[in-house]
Structure 1
């Protein structure tokens, strides 16, 4: 994604849902690759507690790889791979990120 700075910052605060309509979390920040000037991930907070039960605690967020993003509009839609975390599929998991307290 080679978006203008105003487009990147507009992602912050948007709710993130899977393709199946399951709430995942809220965009807190974006991960950038400065060499390629592209977004590589979305840092999520306010996570769906049921979806991440036993995987993250209240002070931890996750970084979702940007390749999982399917669409950006009023909300961000990502692949339903996030819902398969419990199934143990081979798809790489979202990274956890310790939030500053």
Structure 2
């Protein structure tokens, strides 16, 4: 995050926006690589329905790779999600 160690749980509840300022969702959980002690993904819920209504069907969230994260502060900024969305059979977007 900003160089100061923080609890991973501090991410939960933060809003996520694309770097273009589009609301994407809210962090509900994090995906961890325990062996390497790194966050590998963010589980988002309360999604922007305009972005996801045709992509997730009955599912209630998405998992985005942590490598998409651009900045973490009061909110989390990720790469422009609209340009990065893949079809469901591609592994970049995993439905939770």
Taking structure 2 as the reference length, the TM-score comes to: 0.84
**Displacement of 1:58:** 5.2
Deviations 1:54-79 (A, max 9, x none): 11135421001000000000000000
**Displacement of 1:94:** 1.9
Distance 1:63 1:26 in 2: 11
SS state at 1:13 partner? coil
Taking structure 1 as the reference length, the TM-score comes to: 0.80
Distance 1:57 1:4 in 2: 37
Name the residue aligned to 1:72. 72
Distance 2:15 2:72 in 1: 10
In the alignment, structure 2 segments of 5+ residues that lack a partner are none
CA RMSD, Structure 1 to Structure 2 (Å): 2.3
Distance 2:63 2:12 in 1: 13
In the alignment, structure 1 segments of 5+ residues that lack a partner are none
Name the residue aligned to 1:96. 95
Name the residue aligned to 1:34. 34
Deviations 1:6-40 (A, max 9, x none): 2x110000000000000000000000001101000
